[in-house]
Structure 1
Amino acid sequence: MIESYRKLWPQRVAVQQITTQQELEKYVLIELNDELTHPRVRKTKQQKLALALERIEQSDLSDSEKSELITLYNKLANP
């Protein structure tokens, strides 16, 4: 799943350094919480989830990779 996430975000240097499932989940949560955006323009977790799921669906990943990432995003967005 780490490799699938790397394919989804090839331009993010930090993503290329993920080596464990725990680190992957940490980065997905950072993305879902919109932590890399200024607080005044942050989107809600549900908005970020919708954008992430759209990106996954439109990606060139295999169906199984898409399914795994969608499951992970939903699990972390709705604990």
Structure 2
Amino acid sequence: MIESYRKLWAQRAAAEKIATQQDLEKYILIELNDELTHPRVRKSKEQKLELALLRIQGSDLSESEKNGLSALYKNLAAK
């Protein structure tokens, strides 16, 4: 999943720092919680999940990569 995430977010420097599954999950949770955005303009976790899933489905990843990343995002969003 780490390589799939890196392909999806190729322009993100933070994606290159991910070394473990735990790191990957941490970065996805940061994204879903919109922690890097000013509090007044943050989107809800549901909105961020929807945007991430749309990005995944519109990407050039293989179907198995898309399914795996989508499932990971959904599982983490449910926490």
Q: TM-score normalised by the shorter chain: which range applies? A: over 0.9
Identity of aligned residues (%): 71
TM-score scaled by length of structure 1: 0.98
Q: Which amino acid aligns with 2:20?
A: T
| Structure 2, gaps ≥5 residues long | none
Shift of 1:30: 0.3
Match of 1:50 in 2: 50
Determine helix, strand or coil for the equivalent of 2:28: helix
Q: Distance in 2 between matches of 1:33 and 1:11?
A: 20
1:24-63 matches, cutoff 5 A: 24-63=24-63
CA RMSD of aligned residues (A): 0.5
Match of 2:4 in 1: 4
List structure 1 segments (4+ residues) > 3 angstroms apart after TM superposition: none
Post-superposition Cα deviations, 1:20-76, rounded to whole Å, max 9, x if no partner, equal: 000000000000000010000000000000000000000000000000000000000
| Structure 1, gaps ≥5 residues long | none
